[in-house]
Amino acid sequence: MSARVVHVVGARPQFPKLGVVLRAQAAAGDAEPLVVHTGQHYDAALSDAFFDELGLPAPVAALAVGSGPHGQQTGRMLEAIERSLMTLRPDAVAVYGDTNSTLAGALAATKLGIPCAHVEAGLRSFDRRMPEELNRVAVDHLCDLLFAPTTTARERLELEGLGARTVLSGDVSAEAVLHAERLAESRSRILETLGLASGRYALATLHRAESTGETALPGLLRALEGAARRLGTLVLPLHPRTAAAIDARLPGWPAAAAEAGVRIVEPLGPLDFLRLAGHASMVLTDSGGLQKEAFLLGVPCVTLRASTEWVETLDCGANLLATDAGSVDAAISRHLTAPGERASRRARALELYGDGRAGARIVHGLGTLSKEGRT
């Protein structure tokens, strides 16, 4: 592949996906990985550690945009990405997932007339209250080439009149998890460091803006306390946004949570986090990516949201939605009474999310896109 492709990323879930595509790009003979990092996730544990541990190349442009309200953050990203693209002059741009970095990258590229591709296209939660849902829809309609991870995603794009732009690539996350899981098992010592036994603890994450708001946060924190009482130790790597919200609104919660069995730890690097997830008895999260990672690892999941874009995880019973202490407790009970086999969950996840060759298909598509130009 000789096309000059710029990859725009900025948030933790995008970095492993980027790694899959860059490894495929290198295998195709392209030795010039061009990464623009918006700095949407600016904490070292949420950014630098991923680049280091996953062996990703240093960004050619680190924009350091940081946090802020959606409009302000997206606007600052758009301005900075546009400058970078005008300097780099790529043949094509690739954006990943559904974050503000994704939207800003797609807007900057298309306004400059640069062909743009969306990795993980066609996902829909049908909940317009989610900023990510708005980003997904807008980016799919902006981009020239849409890499759908599943047949469901491809069918949605066809229904929206975007079938001619769509390629069924398979899911980069499946490749990313399999690659990182091997590294994690050989390199991570997080279970030993924390004194945890495999299968004897649960893992939780909470970070979305709507989860950490004044209305939602108290109820979700109570739900985590209840989950810890049911499941034993509940490990909570605390996202900087969540930590700030707790400090501002519920400064006494960490002490109460510890009594219930919640163990708060600092944000973790990707290999430690994946090993922790893979050996957990259950995962509770408001993250989109972690829902699917848990499925791929064979671990039952409770999603702390009213909707999800990964509907396949619900259809298989591997994932349940819950939004308050009562519904979380009910979801935990359902998982505990129908535990299933980890191996069968993993097999079903891989069946749904592809054969491990998504990266190669995406790289081939990017090369074709750059030659054809904008459609």
- Domain check: are 198 and 160 in the same one? no
Q: Is 341 exposed, middle or buried (0-12, 13-18, 19+ CB in 10 A)?
A: exposed
User: 232 and 103 in one domain?
Assistant: no
pLDDT band at 209 (very low <50, low <70, confident <90, very high): confident
Tell me the pLDDT band of 45, cut-offs 50, 70 and 90.
Answer: low
Q: What is the pLDDT of residue 319?
A: 96
Average pLDDT over residues 3-32: 90
**Which stretch, 39-53, 67-81, 102-116, has highest mean pLDDT?**
102-116
What's the rounded mean pLDDT across residues 90-98?
Answer: 96
DSSP-derived letter for residue 211 is T
Does the structure show a pLDDT above 70 at 42? no
- Using pLDDT thresholds of 50, 70 and 90, give the confidence band for residue 46: low
CATH number of the domain within which 38 lies: 3.40.50.2000
φ/ψ region of 299 (left if φ > 0, alpha if ψ in -120 to 50, else beta) reads beta
373 — pLDDT class (breaks 50, 70, 90): low
78 with 151, same domain: the answer is yes
- Is 207 annotated in the active site? yes
Determine the longest span between alpha carbons in the chain, in angstroms: 61
pLDDT of residue 312 exceeding 70, the answer is yes
How many Å apart are CA 287 and CA 11, to the nearest integer? 12
> Helices 217-231 and 240-249: crossing angle, nearest 10°?
110
Question: pLDDT digits over 315-364, tens only?
Answer: 989 999 999 999 999 999 999 998 678 888 888 998 888 778 999 999 99
Q: Beta strand pairing status for 301-303 and 5-9?
A: unpaired
- Burial readout 236-261 (b: 16 or more C-beta within 10 A, e: otherwise): bbbbbbbbebbeeeeeebbeebeeeb
What is d(CA 275, CA 194) in angstroms, rounded to the nearest whole number?
12
**What does pTM read for this prediction?**
0.85
Whether the pLDDT of residue 238 is over 90: the answer is: yes
Identify the pLDDT of residue 48.
Answer: 74
Judgement on whether residues 88 and 13 belong to the same structural domain of the protein: yes
Identify whether residues 340 and 364 lie together within a single domain. no
Structural domain total, the chain = 2
Assign 43 a pLDDT band (cuts: 50, 70, 90).
Answer: low
Mean pLDDT on 123-129: 92
Composition of the chain by helix, strand, coil, percent to 5: 50, 15, 35
State the catalytic residue, choosing from 7, 41, 118, 207.
207
Structural domain for 323, as ranges? 189-353
Residue 47 pLDDT: 65
Q: Helix, strand, or coil here: 17?
A: helix
327: how many CB neighbours lie within 10 A of its CB?
Answer: 16
Residue 183 maps to a domain: no
Do 19 and 158 share a structural domain?
yes
Q: Do 165 and 216 belong to one domain?
A: no
Higher pLDDT, 44 or 23: 23
Query: 9 and 77: one domain?
Result: yes
The reply to whether 166 and 196 lie within a common domain is: no
In sequence order, the 6+-apart residues with CB closer than 8 A to the CB of 296 are: 173, 174, 177, 178, 346, 349, 350, 353
- Residue 184 domain-assigned (yes or no): no
Q: Compute the CA torsion angle 355, 368, 108, 162 (nearest 10 deg).
A: -70
Output the pLDDT for position 250: 94
